[in-house]
Each structure stands twice: as C-alpha cells, then as structure tokens.
Amino acid sequence: MPAHDSGLAVPEVVVTAQRTESLASRTPLAISVLSGEELRDLGADSPGTIGPRLPNLYIDQAFSGLRLTIRGISNSDTTDKGDPSAAFMLDGVYIARPAGQSGNFLDVDRIEVLRGPQGTLYGRNTTAGLVNVISNLPTDRFEGAIGFEAGTYDRRKVDGVINVPVNDMLALRAAVSKLTHDPYLNNGQGTLLRPGMDQDDRDARLSAKLAMGRDATLVLRYDHGQAKGNNDRFVPDTNFYTGVASGTPVYRDSTTDERLTNSFRPPNMTPVQGWQDRVAQGWSADLRWDLGPATLYYLGARRKLDQELRQNYYYRVAPRLALGVINNYDSHNEQDSHELRLATNGASPLSAQGGLYYFSETSDTSYAFQGLQAVGLPPYYAFPLVTEARSRAVFGQLTWRVVDGLRLTAGARRTQDDKDRVGSTDFRQGPVFNAATDRRLLNAAELNTARTTWRLGLDYDLLPTTLLYGSLATGYKAGGFNDGCIAGSTALGIACPAAVAVSESALYYQPEELRAWEAGVKSRLWGGRVTVNAAAFVYDYTNLQLSGTAIVSGAPRILTGNAGVARSRGLELDGDIRVGSNGRLSYGATALDAHYVTYNPTPTASWAGRKLDRAPSHVYTLGYEHRFGVFGGQLYAGVFSRRSAEYVITIPSQLLEYRIPAHTTTDATLRYAPAGGAWSLLARVRNLENSVRPSLIDSFGMTTPTAPRTADVRLDLRF
C-alpha cells in the first residue's frame, strides 16, 4: 500500500499565500507554516516566540514593539513616523504600529510566513516579506475547549474557546485568554521596584460567520487585548560587552542571572516604578461572494491602539557617561483599511485577480523625557506629535497555464503613499508647556511618494510531486521624514526660522526599493514520507532605510537615513521526514550573505562589505518527535534544536558593532493523550541551555535580552 494511503505521509497543508487556497507544496514561493496545534505544543504565545522555528526569520519583542527581520532585512524606527520592511497581519489585515503587533495568539488556525517581496497581492511594507496570523473560523459544530498552564516564574495561563452553530445560517465563536508571569529581569539597583519582562495580559475575540444564501459568506470579527505590567524590558549593554566606551564592544563571559540583572544606578536621579497599559482592539468584515465566473472579496477593518507607559531609560550620553531618564509616553492610534478584490473561478488556462486598496492611519502621540539636565536640557524634554498616513493602490495578477504543468504569472501594483506630521519639540520647565518660560521648535513635514511594483513568475511541475519555480519581483517602502522643519514654514502658530531649520536632505529620506530574484523547488518523495523545500535568492536594495540617534539643535533625536546599496543572497532548505510509523524528523539549513555594497554611516567612514544586522552566515535546525503507545493512550516526546552562526547588531551613527557569538538553543516537549479521551497533558521546557543574548540594542545602550530557560505544564480539556 502506498505510504500516502497508509497514513505515513507528511500531512499536506492548505494555505492562502497567493490569496486563493492551495497546498503549501504547490505554492510557488518561499513559505513556512505553523499550525495552531504546533503553537500550543511549543508554548508559542506571541509573535516574538516563533522566530527560532522558521528559516531566515527573527522576531524581536522590544519595549517599543515588535521588530521583524527576514533574510537580513529589518527596520529600527518603531515611532509613529516609521514603517517596517516586513508586514504583520491578522486575518489579512495589516497592523501598522509595532506595539499593536505584540498581542498574544488567540485561537489560531495557522501562521503563514512569506519570505521575499509580496507587494503585488499584499501591498505596503512587504519588501522583506510578511507574517499573517490566521484565526479559526466559526464552524457548524458545537464544540469547545479550555486549557490551564502553570510554570516557572509563576507563569499562569487559562484560555478557552467555544463554538456555537446558532442555525443553518449563523455560527458564533468566542475565545478568551489570561496570561501572567513574573519578571525575567532582576533588580540590582538597590530599590524595591518591580523589574521588567513580566506579563499581565488579557485577550478576547468574538467571531460570527453568516451564510447569506448559497453563494455569499460574511465573517465578522472583534478582538480586544490588554497588556499591563512593566515595560522596562532592558539592561545596559555592559551586561553583555566590555569595550563599549572605546567603540569596540567585546562579548564577555557572564552568568545568565548576571546578564538579566539591571544594576545601573543613575548618577542624576532615582528610578521610578515602570508600568504600561496597552489596549488594542479591532473590528473587521470579511465578505466572500461567489458570482459564478468570479468571486468577489471585500475585507474592511478598523483598529485602535491606546498605550500609556512610564519607563526608566539607560541613556548613554557620552562614551563613559550614562544617565537615568524617565520616559512618559501616551499614544492613541487609529487605522482603517479596505480592500475590494475580484478573482476568477474555474479551470480555465487563464486565471486572474485584481482589486483596489485603501489604508489610513492617524497617530496622536506624546513623548516626554525627564533627567537630561546634565546635558543642558531643561527638566522636561517633550515631543507632542500628530502623524497621518494614507495609502491607495490598484493591483492585478494573471496566471497563464501555457501547457499542462507549466504556468506563467505576471502581476503589478501601483501605490500612492501620503504622509504628514505636525508637532513640536518642547523644552519645558514643568510637565505642561508654559509660553512664558518654555521654548518650542516646530516639527512639520509632508511627503507624497508613488511607485509601481511588479512580479514575474514561472512554475513547472517537473514531476507530479515536484514543483520548480522562479520569480523576478520588485518591492517598495515609502519614504519619510525626521524631526525638524524647513526654513520659513509655519504650523500650529510656530514659525521655523533659519537658525533652527534643517535642510531638505536632512529632513526627508527616500523610498526603499528592492529587486529580487528567487528560484526554488518543492518536492514530496517516497510516497510523501519526505518533503523538501529549497530556495535560492538574490536581493538588491537601494536606499535601505536605517535609524539612529543624533544631536540636532542641541538635543538628541532619532533620525532615519538611506544606506545606499545593500545586497542579500542566500540558500534555504527545510522539510520533514517520517521515520517509521511513529517518528517525524524536521530539518532546516540556511546560508546567508547580507551586506552593504555602498554605505557611509558618517562622512568619513565606509561600511561597504559589512554585514547587515541579524544576518548569520548559516543556521541549522533539527527536530524529532516520536509517538509511543502507553497506558492505553499516546505519548509524544519531542526535541528541537537551533544552531546559529555569529551575527551582528549595529549602531551605524556611532560606528558600533555588537557581535552576537554562535549559539545553540534547544526546546523539549512531552505530551500524553488517552485513546478517545477528551483531555491531554503537556510538559514543555524552552531554552534548555538557559543562555540569553541581546535581541535588540538601541542607540543609548539599552539592551533587550532574550528569555531565560522556562518550563511549564498544560492541561487541555475538550468538549
């Protein structure tokens, strides 16, 4: 009997990476998929926990929000004026702000990670790729589940889902979750303050699926998430490095507890208790209407993000001097998006899809800093700002089946991006601006950019179980602006005299553009018991956008500029092997060369040839799970290990290069499910080595560590 008939084949996965359903093994692009069951077994609660499982992907959770790096391409400006190079989506809805991307996973069906430019079908800010979290839909069965977790660092979690078919037309689904754990960081500052890297989160989603006749379906969703705790997620970079003051950081030996202990005692102030209150909520409507020859799709969404926090910064102002700075942050963000898309049906040699897209975003934020008097600033240094962004696009893609087994694809997208901001840089004597004693500088800019991006592709069925594909695509990310104003401009009743104005070249930065070549093969061998996914790619970036800190008009600002030319090229290999009837081996290997071709971070320094951030030359992964029949049920034992070569995190504006040494991280799981039972028990250990390293380092020396070793048990009950 063939292996695929005997149940020994690696299961096929259905994805929507090309906006229509297809098997992952027949989708001609580099894609990785994690199912909801895999996320549960891994204990992957949030986006920051899935990166180690997937090729050429880093997802880092910083105090300012999520940062995605795919194939060495990232972005470090997480302010309201910045845009990512890789998009994060929830059920196909683009989420603009990194802080809004940090919510916990809730009742997830699968996560699709697409590597490479996806601008034709997905739009803005997808030059490096995208992460799409897809939740479970309501079904026509009454069912439910509840899970309980307990673990180290006093981890406690309870989550549940219930699905109710109301009648033949309407089904409802609700999911909730509550997660808490104690801080991973230690307080060595001599105070009684609670340190950071803790969690106190609550999440909920309500979905409704309405059948409007036989041909149309409408899915409505509402989600709400709240995160509390302490957002002081960082330690000084000197916890990991010596030689920072001399400009040559060297990784130093230390224990995990020492690395996770913040012992910095500010010379200028006493730290205060850090806290945050982040509320994210969204509404969406997803319509699918089968018109016969074609299907009409509409996806509309409105999302809000409100965030208040207080943080204690480690703020290096000179090579050998760091200050304590209190940051008070208040932000209110709203975004709306609408997409109307039409896709042909049937088995015609020519298939097509195309549509219209609109996105708008308004951010009203206020940053206020205290403690910088030592560098000549007043007691309060603040940035009240309002930023607005709008994006409009028209797109289309055609696929032509030339002969059986050979398909050609061509697609294009025209995008118009408009962005503007008005606000000020305030030098205040008190928490509220006083015109009699305080000074205010104008921040005002607007920028309109437009580009046409395109994609050409070819895929060929070499064998019934082997797909070859290749593509040439372009990508684009809009330009933007920094703090400041052009001489002679006026806004909010504030003038911009020449003495404080900045030049257009300093105020604005150019769009980031990409040309990408990719070729790959996907194959299922030995009756589906072995899967192979291999890809080779070459990216050429122009005007890569990089951010850092600089002094403007006597005050520190975050500035973004263009890095000239960068190239990323590499190889990726991953897949699964069924071992006997009870074992499954997963494997992966990547080779990456991502470097600057031309880049001058300062007028006298050239970084040509230097590596981009988080771009190790090679990474290997290996995992194995085995099933045993015991006690009338099934016991699943699994282990997964990832070995990464050295890579760097850089601060170009300060010519600093932090090297992260080669390292290995290993996770282990043990799960028992009785035969025919309605419960299962799971035990997990993550980071068996108990090693931590910097995941992010900013211009001030604030370093976000990775998580230490954690362990927990989970009980699932189903009905």
pLDDT band at 166 (very low <50, low <70, confident <90, very high): very high
Q: Is residue 319 part of a domain?
A: no
Whether residue 305 contacts residue 343, with contact meaning beta carbons closer than 8 Å, is answered with no
Is there a contact between 84 and 68 (Cβ–Cβ < 8 Å)?
A: yes
DSSP-based three-state secondary structure for 72 = coil
Q: What value does the mean pLDDT take over residues 248-267?
A: 96
pLDDT value of residue 4: 40
Q: What is the pLDDT of residues 561-593, one digit of tens each?
A: 888 899 999 999 999 999 999 999 999 999 999
Query: 73: which DSSP letter?
Result: B
Q: How much is the average pLDDT of 234-256?
A: 95
Tens of pLDDT, residues 670-716: 999 999 889 999 999 999 999 999 999 988 999 999 999 999 999 99
Q: Name the residue among 255, 373, 286 with its Cα closest to residue 325.
A: 373
Q: Which percentage of the chain shows pLDDT scores above 90? A: 77
User: Nearest Cα to 123, choosing from 133, 110, 135, 132?
Assistant: 132
Among 62-76, 265-279, 305-319, 490-504, the range scoring the smallest mean pLDDT is: 62-76
pLDDT digits (tens, 9 = 90+) for 335-375: 999 999 999 998 899 999 999 999 999 999 999 999 999 88
Kindly report the three-state secondary structure assignment for every residue of 541-574.
Answer: EECCEEEEEEEECCEEEEEEEECCEEEEEEEEEE
The pLDDT confidence band at residue 551, using thresholds 50, 70 and 90, is: low
In a domain, 292, yes or no: no
Residues 6+ apart with CB under 8 A from 146: 158, 159, 160, 161, 716, 717
Give me 709's structure tokens. 């070793």
Please tell me the total count of domains within the chain: 1
Q: Is residue 61 part of a domain?
A: yes
Position 2 pLDDT exceeds 90: no
Question: Looking at the domain assignment, is residue 283 inside a domain?
Answer: no
Confidence of residue 407 (pLDDT cuts 50, 70, 90): very high
Tokens of 538: 């070459």
Query: Is the pLDDT reported for residue 293 higher than 60?
Result: yes
Q: How confident is the model at residue 556 (pLDDT cuts 50, 70, 90)?
A: low
pLDDT at position 554 is 59
What is the extent of the structural domain holding 483?
A: 14-276+337-718
Is 303 contained in some domain?
A: no
- Cα distances from 19 to residues 132, 643, 708, in angstroms, run 12, 34, 38
How many angstroms separate the CA atoms of 56 and 72, rounded? 7
Please count the other Cβ atoms lying within 10 Å of the Cβ belonging to residue 704.
21
pLDDT score recorded for residue 5: 38
Residue 559, pLDDT score: 77
**For residue 38, pLDDT beyond 70:** yes
Cα dist from 592 to 71, 223, 563, 622, 633, whole Å: 7, 38, 19, 18, 43
63 part of a folded domain? yes
* Helix (H) or strand (E) run with residue 122 in it: helix 119-122
- DSSP for 198-234, please give it: -EEEEEEEEEEEEEETTTEEEEEEEEEEEEES-----
* Distance separating alpha carbons of residues 681 and 30, to the nearest angstrom: 34
Task: Give the pLDDT mean for 467-492.
Answer: 92
Which conformational region is residue 65 in: left (phi greater than 0), alpha (psi within -120 to 50 degrees), or beta? left
Residue 696 phi, psi dihedral angles, 5° rounding: -145, 145
Residue 186 has pLDDT above 90, yes or no: yes
Tokens of 9: 């084949």
For the cut 80, the answer to whether the pLDDT of residue 495 exceeds it is yes
Amino acid identity, residue 294?
A
- Domain contains 316: no
pLDDT, average across residues 131-160: 96
Distance CA 222, CA 213 (A): 23
The CATH number given to whatever domain includes residue 419 is 2.40.170.20
> What value does the mean pLDDT of the chain take?
92
d(CA 50, CA 108): 13
- Distance CA(32)–CA(30), nearest Å, equals 7
Cα–Cα nearest to 463, from 29, 25, 114: 25
Could you say which DSSP state residue 240 is in? T
Closest CA to 420 of 448, 445, 398: 445
177 — pLDDT class (breaks 50, 70, 90): very high
The confidence band for 66, taking pLDDT boundaries of 50, 70 and 90, is confident
| Residues 6 or more apart whose Cβ sits within 8 Å of residue 535 | 30, 115, 518, 519, 520, 571, 572
- Give me the residue label for tokens 């600002």: 557
Residue 479 lies in a domain: yes
Q: What is the pLDDT of residue 199?
A: 94
> Of the candidates 220, 199, 224, which has an alpha carbon nearest to the alpha carbon of residue 208?
220
To which residue do tokens 């179980």 refer? 465
Mean of pLDDT values over 236-260: 96
Residue 415 has pLDDT above 50, yes or no: yes
Q: Which two tokens stand for residue 178?
A: 């509550």
